[in-house]
Chain A
Amino acid sequence: MSVDEQEVAALRERIAADSLTSRRDYLRLAVTMSGGLALGSAVTAAGIFHRHGDGAAPPKLVTAALAPGESVAFSYPGEEDRAVALRMADGTLVAYSSICTHLACAVLWRADRGERGELYCPCHEGVFDPRTGAVTAGPPPRPLPRVLLEERADGIYAVGTLRSGEEA
């Protein structure tokens, strides 16, 4: 066996030995993961993620008119804050963030679903109550954040936002 072959054999043995993960290695990995989670929690609380309604904006014209059973998509307050305004059959006007609180798919107004229509997320069958934004079915963990509307003479304006689950 030449020196080179011996070196290669020694290297092979080392690599084979390294692939065996011991309990101490698992412990170190678990502690590292724990540190990452602690950091992640702190960064989350410090506010690194975007929330619907973060930032202020002047009132924005959503649409000139909205007939009962119809909806319109818009963005408020930022361009990324996609929302949907709808008028229910009884004339009630509401607007919510159209980003599903589950995995951020687009939430759609479906007048044909349910008794009075539903805000429906087709990705995982999430359903929200159009009157309150509360979750009525599916996996979303939080209600839809609300967008405050104002009906003026020249149209419907978005004037503010509320956090998920917050009441006006």
Chain B
Amino acid sequence: MTHDRYPRIRPTSGYADPRIRSTGPGPGAGVETDPERSSMLSGRLALVLSIVVGQLWAITIGLNAWMMGQTRTAWWAAAFSVASFLVALWAWRLGERRDR
């Protein structure tokens, strides 16, 4: 697009020019390099919200079981909840790194 508008500017314009002391953005700068980024963000958000719904269910089951003296079931629900949180954390942090 840049080339159509300014035919004399090439993707390599400025290279090997002695007046240029530091390099600017290289070829491809300003172009969306990851077009799926937005939908991936929506996907991550949907995943984490589903996880939160699952955790709400788990805490209900766990509390009910614990009140009935079934401590083992309560611990299983807690383990499920912690594992779910780790997945949510992964979806957040890993995505955050790719999101830049």
Contacts and interface: CB of A to CB of B under 8 A. Distances in A.
A interacts with B = yes
Interface of A: 23-24, 26-28, 30-31, 33-35, 37-38, 40-42, 44-45, 47, 49, 51, 101, 141-142, 163-166
B58 A41 contact: yes
A28 B89 CA distance: 9
Contacts of A45: 62, 66, 71, 74-75, 77-78
Interface of B: 41-42, 44-45, 48-49, 51-52, 55-56, 58-59, 62-64, 66-69, 71, 74-75, 77-78, 80-82, 84-85, 88-89, 91-92, 95, 99
A128 to B, nearest CB: 15
Contacts of A42: 78, 81-82
A37 B48 contact: no
A35 B63 CA distance: 17
B48 A27 contact: yes
Contacts of A142: 64, 67-68
A164 B3 CA distance: 76
A44 B55 contact: no
B84 A34 contact: yes
Q: Tell me whether chain A's interface is mostly helix, strand or loop, or mixed.
A: helix
B76 to A, nearest CB: 9
Nearest to B81: A41
Contact of A44 (B42, B45, B78, B88): B78
Contacts of A41: 55, 58-59, 62, 74, 77-78, 80-82
Nearest to B42: A23
